[in-house]
A and B are shown apart, each in its own frame.
Chain A
Amino acid sequence: MTMTGPNGAGRDEGLSLQQQRARSAVWFLAPMLVALFLVAAWPLGRTIWFSLTDTTLDNIYGGKFVGFSNYLRVRTLDSGAMLWRGTLVDPAWWNAVWNTVKFALISVILETVLGLLVALVLNAEFKGRGLVRAAILIPWAIPTIVSAKMWSWMLNDQFGIINNIMLNLGLIDHKIAWTASNDTAMIAVLIVDVWKTTPFMALLCLAGLQMVPRDIYEAARIDGIHPIKVFFRVTLPLIRPAVAVAVIFRMLDALRIFDLVYVLTPNSAATKTMSVISRENMIDFNKFAYGASQSTLLFAILAIFVALYIWLGKVDLTGETNR
């Protein structure tokens, strides 16, 4: 730990107030750090370890160390042909990676744009603003599983209201099996996710917008600058830090998505994400170690992504430097 008081100085009265406080800080932090170690660091370490073994779910302690063969191994056949095996050459895994990346990129872009729009609306003064803000909190408050069920009912091919509305408006000429068909399953997941998380994005953007001093707009109006130009030249650069933080939170959330996909489009290859395929291997297919290697890869991908994002974007997540 970081608090290295003078060794053996012993008595409290020998210490300055600052040292005394630093010393008590250790005891205040210790229980939390121990708890976090037990529920986060230790299981993560064990997951990585399992990914290097041939452990199965029914015999967790019976696994042997097998190196990286869950990730990639090669077998030379008698004919001399090389046979590559492992997650890194598994088409199902790469399909899941592609699904996850596609989902994360599209959903976060849509949510950011729509969230900014909604935030701009909420930042304007109009009658009933409080009601609108309350209304957009509803999708956020609804549990993901419940929203998945609500939408799978609305998107139902036979009795769903979405098909009904679109047929009435002449947008489609036959009923679509939104969640079951491979062409539309991803669209269905995206619709529900955008519906559910745009409010969160809007609130974070709104918090950023409210920091922008009002007299800037006043000055721009007097100078006769077009509002759209003001938005792109003044507002957007000012709220960029707030939006950048919101985007990374959403991105990490999107890259680990599990529940929505699991309930809305079960067993659809078109939407299966990294989290879904890892759990499937771990629990349902009894390929525990193989699933562990996939979840380790997901963790590595997220870690690299966060590091790059913070480094390239110079995003300040802790808010420490401004103090």
Chain B
Amino acid sequence: MSGTLAHRLWTILFYLFVAVIVIFAVFPFYYAIVTSFSTGTALFEVHYWPVTFDTSNYETVLGGRQFPRSIVNSVFIAATTVIFALFLAVTASYALSRVRFRGRGLLLMAILAVSMFPQIAVLAGMIEMIKFLGLFNTPWAMIISYTVFTLPFTVWVLTTFMRDLPVEIEEAAIVDGATPWIIITKVFLPLLWPALVTTGLLAFIGAWNEFLFALTFTLSEDQRTTPVAIAMLSGASVQEIPWGPIMAASVIVTVPLVVLVMIFQRKIVAGLTAGGVKG
């Protein structure tokens, strides 16, 4: 009998721990949503449950000129960066995963090293390049600089995905006289769609969230990306931080990401753990 009692106690403790994990993970986002729907005095009293449903914070941020503009900028920059990175990465990772050549391991290490680079280390040189190209304060400054982390990441993940595709498919194509280009476009690409979607999504999230380059390469308000716009949202004075609109803006940029992550949950976990962990 004591065995079942201990077992029951253990189960209760286990679920308690699970509950703590879930609350800790979800609460800040929940609280941001609650705050984003409160205005006036309700904002400055602590409420654990929503007491008001006031959409005026959303009207403030979406009615203004800057924030909607920053969303457009962010979508354009992140999408272009990802398409560019995927385009270069597909052929490169075919070579890295399927063709044996000397120095392949070294090359893979170099690519991995770039993806783990401190971005600040390229900042000074990047400023020079962006100014030289006359791209300062344009979206292209971000698109170029984001390549430093999106490209190695996509190459790395796609390489691990491609390594797992069966050799037989490729061999059959070679016997049929297919060139490597045909193998990539006609044989591998159809099989790679799920991997491309996952990798693209992860790279998109990375580009969407980037702050250091976006902060450095934008001057005027209408060129800002959403993280910079949110960081710079300010009230009439330093003391008056507009918490309501900030939370509304935060919820607006986060909800699409959370929805996407929920939909592609399994694939994202697979994408994140691709690479080293397989060993």
Contact = CB atoms under 8 A, between A and B. Distances in A.
Given A46-B128, A47-B124, A203-B272, A143 B208 contact: yes
Interface stretch (B1-9, B23-31, B52-60, B192-200): B23-31
A143 B204 CA distance: 12
Contact of B209 (A143, A319, A321): A143
Given A137-B261, A316-B279, A319-B160, A142 B18 contact: no
Interface string A138-149: 111111111111
Interface size class of A (residues with CB under 8 A): 35 or more
Contacts of A36: 111, 114, 151-152
Interface in B29-68: 29, 31-32, 35, 43-46, 48
Interface residues of B, number: 103
Nearest to A60: B128
A269 interface: no
Given A39-B148, A153-B246, A255-B118, A24 B124 contact: no
A129 to B, nearest CB: 9
Interface string B223-248: 00011101100000000000100110
Contacts of B77: none
A141 B144 CA distance: 24
A170 to B, nearest CB: 16
A204 interface: yes
Given A150-B31, A246-B277, A322-B279, A40 B122 contact: yes
Given A29-B92, A145-B209, A245-B277, A42 B129 contact: yes
Of the candidates A18, A135, A136, A204, the one having the most CB atoms from chain B within 10 angstroms of its own CB is A135
A295 B258 contact: no
Nearest to B212: A258
B123 A319 contact: no
A68 B70 CA distance: 41
Contacts of A126: 14-15, 18
Interface stretch (A72-80, A180-188, A216-224, A298-306): A298-306
Given A132-B18, A135-B22, 19 more contacts: A2-B103, A28-B91, A40-B152, A44-B117, A134-B265, A136-B21, A144-B211, A144-B227, A145-B228, A146-B254, A153-B246, A199-B25, A204-B273, A249-B276, A283-B216, A295-B120, A299-B118, A316-B279, A319-B279
A275 interface: yes
Given A134-B265, A141-B258, A322-B279, A32 B88 contact: yes
Nearest to A167: B46
A259 B227 contact: yes
Nearest to B87: A31
A189 interface: no
Interface in B105-137: 105, 107-109, 111-114, 116-129, 131
B172 interface: no
Contacts of B231: 145, 148-149, 262-263
Given A133-B265, A159-B43, A142 B257 contact: yes
15 contacts: A28-B92, A29-B96, A60-B131, A126-B14, A132-B18, A134-B265, A138-B26, A139-B28, A141-B257, A142-B254, A153-B35, A252-B116, A256-B118, A282-B124, A298-B118
B267 to A, nearest CB: 12
B101 A141 contact: no
Interface string A114-142: 00001001001010100111111111111
Interface of A: 1-3, 17-18, 21-22, 24-25, 28-29, 31-33, 35-36, 38-40, 42-47, 50-51, 57, 60, 118, 121, 124, 126, 128, 131-151, 153-154, 156, 158-161, 164, 195, 199-200, 203-204, 207-208, 241-242, 245-246, 249, 252-253, 255-256, 258-259, 262-263, 274-275, 278-279, 282-283, 288, 291-292, 295-296, 298-299, 302, 306, 315-323
A207 B275 CA distance: 11
A142 B15 CA distance: 26
B277 A143 contact: no
A279 B123 contact: yes
Contact of A35 (B26, B104, B147): B147
A33 B104 CA distance: 13
B95 A28 contact: yes
B128 A32 contact: no
Contacts of A159: 43-46, 243
A43 B125 contact: yes
A164 B31 CA distance: 13
A150 B95 contact: no
Given A141-B205, A159-B46, A150 B28 contact: yes
A314 to B, nearest CB: 11
Given A60-B131, A279-B123, A29 B95 contact: yes
Given A32-B92, A153-B247, A256-B120, A279 B99 contact: no
Given A31-B91, A207-B277, A298-B120, A161 B125 contact: no
